[in-house]
């Protein structure tokens, strides 16, 4: 089973720029093309939040249009830039989003059980797993405590060292860690929000962040470092579930020279 993770497209309407710089609309189509071109083809694409920049209906409409050519089943969860009602409205055919309440759900049809969590707090940059959401997750985990399970959500449940992002972290992370510690079958917690590849040990599993398919958060570990982004190569992650192990690859989007062979006539090329 192969999972592609795409995150934080921050889609704006065509021609509009995010933060006066990023034409996010122009970044999503190459990402979709990159995923469609993969061989082997992923079984599923998890899109881990901040799917639009301002949660506007017109942005979701543009997103639906840009994602229509994606030939792999895909699932959405909201980030802090999203709006639950507008998201449901635009993707009414995505019945897993439900009609009211939190946008969390379980996907049972793959070898790895996939649980999507909703960390959105309307109007705020931080995320939260409140008691209601933690209770829902606890009930889902208790259903199949033996089955390998992957959780995906927008806000990482740990501080990253990037000060301005940590200032909009996840409330309830400690309670989540306690809960997860009781479930060694949780293989991974996949997150977005920080627009970089980051890993941390968490409650006996691994929690990680994925790069954006558009702009990246500047790698700045100074205390009080300013809020800033950079146009480093856009990316995504591939999570390969094979022989009971989950292996993660970071992938970049774009055209680069190669591939070139290492070997020729049975030996390493040396000239
Ligand atoms: Fe984001
Ligand atoms: Fe975010």
Q: Total structural domains in the chain?
A: 1
Residue 266 alpha carbon to ligand 2 centre in Å: 49
Residue 57's CATH number: 3.60.21.10
Q: What domain range includes position 241?
A: 2-254
- Copy the structure tokens of residue 34: 């990159």
Does residue 91 fall inside a structural domain? yes
Residue 229 above 90 pLDDT? Answer: yes
Per-residue DSSP letters for 182-218?
T-TTEEEEEE-SSSS-EEEEETTEEEEE---SS-EE-
Percent of the chain with pLDDT strictly greater than 70: 100
Say if residue 128 is exposed, middle or buried (CB neighbours under 10 Å; 0-12, 13-18, 19+): middle
Q: Sort strands 74-77 and 149-152 into parallel, antiparallel or unpaired.
A: unpaired
pTM of the predicted model, to two decimals? 0.98
Residue 112 alpha carbon to ligand 1 centre in Å: 26
Which ligand is nearest the CA of 196, by number?
A: 1
Residue 196 alpha carbon to ligand 2 centre in Å: 12
Residue 135 alpha carbon to ligand 2 centre in Å: 23
Other residues' Cβ atoms within 10 Å of the Cβ of residue 226: 9
- What value does the mean pLDDT take over residues 104-126? 98
Residue 44 alpha carbon to ligand 1 centre in Å: 21
Does residue 217 fall inside a structural domain? yes
Does residue 265 fall inside a structural domain? no
Task: Share the mean pLDDT of the chain.
Answer: 97
Does residue 262 fall inside a structural domain? no
CA distance 117 to 128: 10
CA distance 35 to 37: 5
Residue 246 alpha carbon to ligand 1 centre in Å: 25
Does residue 13 fall inside a structural domain? yes
Does residue 178 fall inside a structural domain? yes
Residue whose pair of structure tokens reads 């959405």 in the numeric block: 76
pLDDT at 271: 85
CA distance 217 to 211: 9
pLDDT in tens, 17-63: 999 999 999 999 999 999 999 999 999 999 999 999 999 999 999 99
Percent of the chain with pLDDT strictly greater than 90: 99
Does residue 263 fall inside a structural domain? no
pLDDT in tens, 173-223: 999 999 999 999 999 999 999 999 999 999 999 999 999 999 999 999 999
pLDDT at 152: 98
Does residue 103 fall inside a structural domain? yes
Residue 99 alpha carbon to ligand 1 centre in Å: 24
Residue 147 alpha carbon to ligand 1 centre in Å: 31
Residue 53 alpha carbon to ligand 2 centre in Å: 9
Residue 217 alpha carbon to ligand 1 centre in Å: 9
The neighbourhood of ligand 2, an ion, using CB within 5 A, equals 50, 79-80, 193
């Amino acid at each position: 089973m192969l999972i592609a993770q795409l995150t934080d497209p921050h889609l704006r309407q065509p021609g509009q720029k995010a933060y006066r710089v990023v034409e996010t609309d122009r970044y999503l189509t190459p990402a979709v093309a990159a995923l469609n071109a993969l061989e082997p083809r992923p079984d599923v694409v998890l899109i881990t939040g901040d799917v639009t920049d301002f949660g506007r209906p017109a942005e979701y409409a543009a997103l639906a249009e840009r994602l229509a050519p994606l030939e792999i089943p895909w699932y959405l969860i909201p980030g802090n830039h999203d709006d639950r009602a507008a998201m449901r409205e635009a993707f009414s055919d995505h019945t897993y989003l439900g009609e009211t309440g939190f946008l969390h759900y379980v996907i049972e049809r793959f070898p790895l059980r996939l649980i999507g969590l909703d960390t959105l707090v309307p109007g705020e940059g931080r995320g939260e797993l409140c008691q209601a959401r933690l209770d829902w997750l606890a009930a889902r985990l208790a259903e199949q405590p033996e089955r390998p399970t992957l959780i995906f959500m927008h806000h990482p449940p740990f501080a990253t060292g990037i000060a301005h992002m940590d200032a909009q972290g996840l409330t309830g992370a400690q309670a989540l860690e306690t809960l997860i510690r009781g479930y060694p079958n949780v293989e991974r917690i996949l997150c977005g929000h920080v627009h970089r590849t980051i890993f941390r040990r968490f409650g006996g599993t691994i929690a990680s962040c994925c790069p954006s398919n558009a702009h990246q958060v500047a790698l700045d570990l100074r205390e009080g470092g300013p809020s800033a982004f950079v146009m480093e190569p856009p990316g995504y992650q591939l999570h390969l579930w094979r022989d009971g192990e989950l292996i993660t690859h970071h992938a970049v989007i774009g055209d680069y020279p190669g591939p070139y062979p290492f070997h020729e006539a049975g030996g390493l090329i040396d000239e």
